[in-house]
Amino acid sequence: MKTSRLSLAALLFVPTVWGAPPAPTAEQIEFFETNIRPALQEHCADCHSATVGKVKGGLDLDTRVGWEKGGETGPAIVPGYPESSLLITAVRRMDKDLAMPPKKELPRRVVEHFITWVKMGAPDPRAGHAASTPAVPTSVRPSFDLAEARKQWAFRPPERTSVPTVKLTLWPQNEVDRFLLAAMEGRGLEPAPLASPEALLRRLTYDLTGLPPTSQEVQAFVEAARIDRPKAMTETVERLLRSPHYGEKWGRHWLDVVRYADSLDARGQGKEGDILDAWRYRDWVVQSFNKDLPYDEFIRQQVAGDILAAREGWDPDKVIATGMYAIGNWGNGDSDKLKVHTDIVDDQIDVTTRAFMGLTLACARCHDHKFDPLSTADYYAMAGFFFSSHILDKFAHPTAGEKIMRIPLLSPQEQRRREALQQRLAVVDAELNQGLMPFDSHEAPVKGAVDVVSLNRKGAPNPSLLVNRSGREARFSTITLPPGAVTVHPGPKSAVTLAWRAPEDLTVNLHATLTDADAHCGDGIEWVARIGERDLSRGTLANGATAKFEATEVSLTKGSLLALTILRGREYTCDTTAVNLRLSSTDGRAWDLSRDFVTSTKTAIDQGWLICEGEGTQLITERAPDSPLVKEQASLRNELAAFDAAMCHGLREGGIPGTKYEGYHDAQIHVRGSYARLAAPQPRGFPALLSHMQPDGIQGSGRLDLARWIASPQHPLTARVMVNRIWQHHFGRGIVATTNNFGKLGTPPSHPELLDWLAHRFMDNGWSIKAMHRLICTSAAYQQTSIPGAEALRLDPDNALFTRQHRIKLTAEELRDTLLVAGGSLDRTIGGISVKDLQIPRRTLYLTAVRSDRSSFRMLFDGADPNTVVEARNDSVVAPQALWLLNHPFAMDQASKLAQRLPLEAKQDPANGITWLYRELFSRTPSVAEINLAAQLIGGDQATPASWEILCHALMCSNEFLFVD
């Protein structure tokens, strides 16, 4: 490695850090194992690995010690300072003498991962020379001691534990309390007092619906709790579980886990290739929670719903459920399509194992798991299920992003009807478009790897149409095609005509440019532009020349054709002619031949462009609008449009067509995660750690076997993981704090016996999530105040023993929804396509989540990151949040609307108005001191509408509005 002056100079100004680096956190280790170790092995190990046997420049990247020591030019990384790290300078290719890898630029995503890693201090769990994976695996299954590994609590089946006895017998409301109280008493602690009825109802209503209670609901609950608190709690829980808003609240929790987004990238939002139908999966999740779909069936439908729909009777909801996989996070813009394929499968394995089982199996993609007894062989055994399934119809061209497959939500009978309609429409279209050339479309590289789309007549090289979509000048043979050029070539005995069909009666202006694209030979061409049989313009084009013509205010009737014909010269073989036609209507619309063909052939056809063999348009049969064929064509298209309106994203059986995995296949081990280095094939199956028995007689992809295994009562993790997630959202933290990781790097359960008891209770109750809510929410532990006693604060500072409730900040969704409720403007409609505008008063669940967007309202207030499987959201309190509430038009508008909602009598009596506001916003009555302070702010009896609005805005910015006790 050769060091640039810039890099060395930067190093001089970096502070020296003495002492051992801090131990990496679990999140940092996961980032390293997921993004950095695979990149080092794939891109760097061939030249900088002592294990492989090459240490160029003295730099060994196999260990932390290796990069700290560095090579001939010193340390490769300065933790925390990417701008001063030679490794970052190298992968950014900022210095041509230092650029690494030397022959191929790293993908941008990989470079960004390296920069992020260095910024976080380059956490590296590797030590000594436990280095890269060997070039070829030494065994199909590593020598894990599985019997010993299964002794860890998470991999043992949940035990049926007995409910402990406790001393404080009057406190427990159910078995949950006895488990918690026994642990508290073992530490000499007592639970916190019960919360007030007002605080409890506010907590419960937010927990189950994500919305605040109304003042009427608060008053009714307070009165009922005064008579019989347990009964009031039970009835209120039932009422809230029946609310359609329950599914919206708890569906959002699940969407966090499965990295839900409505759009992949703001730049391509709403375009073909985006996840246009993701909302159907979101609505399926909401309805599944509202219907209390048993959790084992909830799993089966998401993993294998398409198979269940085919075997158990048609149900479109089951197909929609597999959308969990189609909304995944993988780089679909990569030109290396085989890598895209492996990334898709990796994402599917990751979400399956973390969401349902709390395991990080994806860490075994490139090497055996470094902490849990999960092998690379285990990873590829499961990969076979997903390589044998597909979410893409086919791979896109290397220069294009992938298009997520859209699946018609049709029954088998409807699918047969649709196919028959398509066949008949093809016949009708052919009859209505006699003379249209039956072109084949294909994409072929020419010299210099420039891609040109060619539409050639079947069985003949000419007439033809060529489109240069490369963005660069294309040269081949004697032809030169400018970027974006559309060229036509007449046939040996016929002309070639480009035409545009008017979509309606309209007036257009025409601008045309013709250029001879083959200036090295030939004798020119003739051209003529017509509408019907009327000439607009005609002329000749000399060899190598350019001609332009215009026509203004050209009147066209619906369906009429504007045609440009290129006639062959004497030497027809050199008659390639670049053509561009641009039409603009008086109402501002525009049609551009080059733009539309460069976008896609389908786009050009949809915009009305046609190409036919022959001179003029007489070969295109014109039909009267009321002719039987035209009527039948319209009817067929309308019926097909109705069939195609209901589409979803999801999985289908069989590997991606056109790949080696088309059909059903086991996967080979990818050495170091690289598809280019394949080792032994692994029969489709489950991780050996969790199963003594592998699936027998797999049918199709095997996803149904996988779904049944995950949802089995014998699976040691599935029920535990889900009850822990439910517990987390009611108590602020899980019994296992790391809800996505029950492995070695995860946190052991604070109450293992309770976790096992809950898991069995969950399964015994038919995997009912609502039954688990009833149990938890009616417990005394749930009803505690969030204010700790002195002893509890000293002995249980993190509340690991649940000696009190957690005080929780409103989520991004809850905050915006509560602002809308306060303003009286919340639209409570359930489901439907997401909305982009923050001002639209739909619930925030339906606000478009864009995966690439890092600056939205949702992300400012710690919304779920749609790029990852989220176990718990960030919980920040930062100045930009307060500034948003103080200054954003949305917040100010809701404060104004709240002031307008004040009852007339409340406005006339400041004390009444202030009391009304406190009940609406905080679900309680204000104290005398609070009334007096607020009255001073608004000017007492001299209060004006503006001063009431200021008070409303101030209360909506308060901590009590933002937090739930």
Q: How far is CA 571 from CA 466, 490, 492, 538, 575, in A?
A: 19, 11, 9, 20, 8
Rounded Cα distance, 726 and 728, in Å: 5
Give per-residue pLDDT as tens, 744-771.
889 999 999 999 999 999 999 999 999 9
- DSSP code per residue over 533-552: TEEEEEEEE-TT-EEEEEEE
CA 350 to chain centre: 14
| 769-777 vs 718-731: helix crossing angle, rounded to 10 | 40
What percentage of the chain reaches a pLDDT higher than 90? 48
Rounded Cα distance, 34 and 390, in Å: 23
- CA-based nearest residue to 361, from 344, 379, 386: 379
pLDDT above 90 for 10: no
Give per-residue pLDDT as tens, 816-856.
999 999 999 999 999 999 999 999 999 999 999 998 888 88
Give per-residue pLDDT as tens, 589-646.
899 988 888 887 777 877 888 887 766 544 444 445 566 877 888 899 888 888 878 8
pLDDT above 60 for 483: yes
pTM flag (> 0.85): no
Residues, the chain: 965
Who's near 660: CB < 8 A, 6+ residues apart? none
DSSP bridge pairs for 450: 446
Q: Which two tokens stand for residue 130?
A: 């436990």
Q: Is 167 helix (H, G, I), strand (E, B) or coil?
A: coil
CA 417 to chain centre: 33
Q: Which two tokens stand for residue 319?
A: 């197909």
Residue type, 564: L
Rounded Cα distance, 62 and 52, in Å: 10
Q: Indicate the pLDDT class of residue 26, thresholds 50, 70 and 90.
A: low
Question: Where is average pLDDT lowest: 40-54, 129-143, 296-310, 548-562?
Answer: 129-143
Q: What is the DSSP letter of 134?
A: P
Q: Indicate the pLDDT class of residue 1, thresholds 50, 70 and 90.
A: very low
Q: Which two tokens stand for residue 917?
A: 């506001």
Q: Which two tokens stand for residue 448?
A: 């210099």
Average pLDDT rounded to a whole number, residues 470-488: 78
pLDDT, position 15: 39
